[in-house]
Amino acid sequence: MGGVDKGLQLFEGNPLALHALRRLRPQVAGVAVNANRNLPAYEAFDVPVWPDGLADYPGPLAGFLSGLSHCPTPWLLTVPCDTPRFPTDLAARMIDALLDSDDAQIAIAAAPEADRQGVVALRAQPVFCLLPTALLGSLSLFTGQGGRKIDAWTAQHRCVGVPFDRPEDDPIAFANANTLAELYALEADGAPR
């Protein structure tokens, strides 16, 4: 987004991070923000703010690591702030998938997405992840060895994909905004969901 702090950009009149917190709060026992700059602005949301513990802010796994390090419950649900229409039943469906699985450790959302040829298929959305805090050691080792790819780390564990492709599901629930134009397009797409 041209160097601006993505989490502080407005969506439906609120910063993206605050919008995500409000959408997630009814689904879970507690919420926190992973941020590395403008910390006072995030602290104003009246939630814990957990910066990355790794140097150079190496991406989403650093946020996962910070979350696992600080999470006071046995499970951590991660969501990015740049996907403002994520499902309001995300947590329940992720939990159900883990409970229905024989041995999965991690639940990862999957949503319909068109490829370059326009073929729509379920695609993993790995930043939407429900994982046990018991995996802190595994992630610490992986990132300590230079690992930065979510898929490479989760592939080391038993995962279950959680499809969000029911007829009643919002078709753009997992659309993310990497530019201000994409953010404005998501906001213009219709009524708040």
* pLDDT of the chain, 193 residues: tens digit per residue: 677 899 999 999 999 999 999 999 999 999 999 999 999 999 999 999 999 988 877 789 999 999 999 999 999 999 999 999 999 999 999 999 999 998 999 999 999 988 889 888 999 999 999 999 999 999 999 999 999 999 999 999 999 999 999 999 998 999 999 888 889 888 887 544 4
Contacts of 82 (CB under 8 A, 6+ apart): 6, 16, 176, 177, 178, 183
Asked whether residue 193 is domain-assigned, the answer is no
DSSP state of 10: E
Count of structural domains within the chain: 1
- Is there a domain that residue 1 lies in? no
Domain range enclosing 32: 6-188
Q: What CATH code is carried by the domain that includes residue 14?
A: 3.90.550.10
Q: Model's pTM, two decimal places?
A: 0.93
Is residue 38 domain-resident?
yes
Q: Strand order of the sheet with strand 120-132?
A: 75-78, 120-132, 106-114, 159-163
